[in-house]
Structure 1
Amino acid sequence: MTAMTEIKVGESLEQMQMPPVTRLDLIKYAGASGDFNPIHTIDEEATNAGLPGIIAHGMWTMGNLAKLFTPYVEDGFIEDYAIRFRNMVFIDDVLTLQAVLYKEEENKREFKVAVVNQKGQEVVNGTVVFRMYEVGMAG
């Protein structure tokens, strides 16, 4: 793995393809988040709401983007996260997580991020600010 400091503007973090979205993923997320809106877990409720089927929680989709930065936990942390929800995510969708470095300062890296489904549609996009730990600073 490349260190965060070696990534240059215009380069991407390694893309991550997630396994297909399952009902169990969304049930677990509902329990963890406290978001029990039935459009995320019950077929009939989703169709009654005018949806073609169960949709994933937007925050579940957004939260998965952080997985791209997990390998860099020793280099720094996500300082800021700004996201737009573009399309719905459904059961069996296969999502690919993407991040491209677009700006760097002394101890800060700014990334354009996206989640893309198997049809090539962005379902989420936005920015992540990754703050590098400052070397030699005593806490």
Structure 2
Amino acid sequence: MTAATDLAVGTVHEVVVVDDLTRTQIVQYAGVSGDFNPLHSDEVYATQVAGNPTVMAHGMLVMGLAGKALTDYFGDGRLTQFGGRFKASAWPGDTLTARLTITAVHPGEGSDPPSADVDVEVVNADGVAVFGGTASAQLDPPA
């Protein structure tokens, strides 16, 4: 869990959320989400119909990996807001890194706990952003 005294505006936390994204992970996500769009699972469709180099990962899989980075950093049950946009495709073989940048730290007032606002970005090994968004999380009060 993260305390308000541990953070400052500009603090950056980076973590690899997947190293060598596999087709198995993409298919497992399709099974869990129920999203069986052939862009994610059918090589022939992805390449010959859609014109992609191969199947692509679900955007929500990438967002879920970013969410895990957030909850690992702030603690379970601490997120109060999380949203974003899909910026580029993630492909099998990609290594994806989540970059969390603190944009504001709120000390909390009255019964409101301290909190932080965060810019969230997931980039591939080439530094291309595949997801970008924002989040807010509750923090532990200062000791």
TM-score range, shorter chain: 0.7 to 0.9
Q: How many residues align?
A: 132
1:128 corresponding residue in structure 2: 135
Q: TM-score when scaled to structure 1?
A: 0.86
Report percent identity of matched pairs: 31
1:82 aligns with 2:89: no
Where does structure 1 lack aligned partners over 5 or more consecutive residues?
A: none
What are the within-5 Å matches in structure 2 for residues 61-72 of structure 1? 61-71=62-72, 72=74
Deviations 1:38-82 (A, max 9, x none): 1101211111122221110000001101122233326x5111112
Distance 2:11 2:56 in 1: 32
Across the aligned residues of Structure 1 and Structure 2, the Cα RMSD in angstroms comes to 1.9
1:11, distance to aligned residue in structure 2 (A): 0.3
Distance 1:31 1:77 in 2: 27
1:3, distance to aligned residue in structure 2 (A): 2.9
2:20 corresponding residue in structure 1: 20
Greater relative contact order (Cα < 8 A, sep 6+): 2
Where does structure 2 lack aligned partners over 5 or more consecutive residues?
A: 109-113
What are the within-5 Å matches in structure 2 for residues 1-139 of structure 1? 3-5=2-4, 6-13=6-13, 15-17=14-16, 18-47=18-47, 48-71=49-72, 72-73=74-75, 77-105=78-106, 106=108, 107-132=114-139
Aligned with 1:127: secondary structure?
A: strand
Q: TM-score when scaled to structure 2?
A: 0.84
Q: Detail structure 1 runs of 4+ shifted over 6 Å in the superposition.
A: none
1:84, distance to aligned residue in structure 2 (A): 1.2
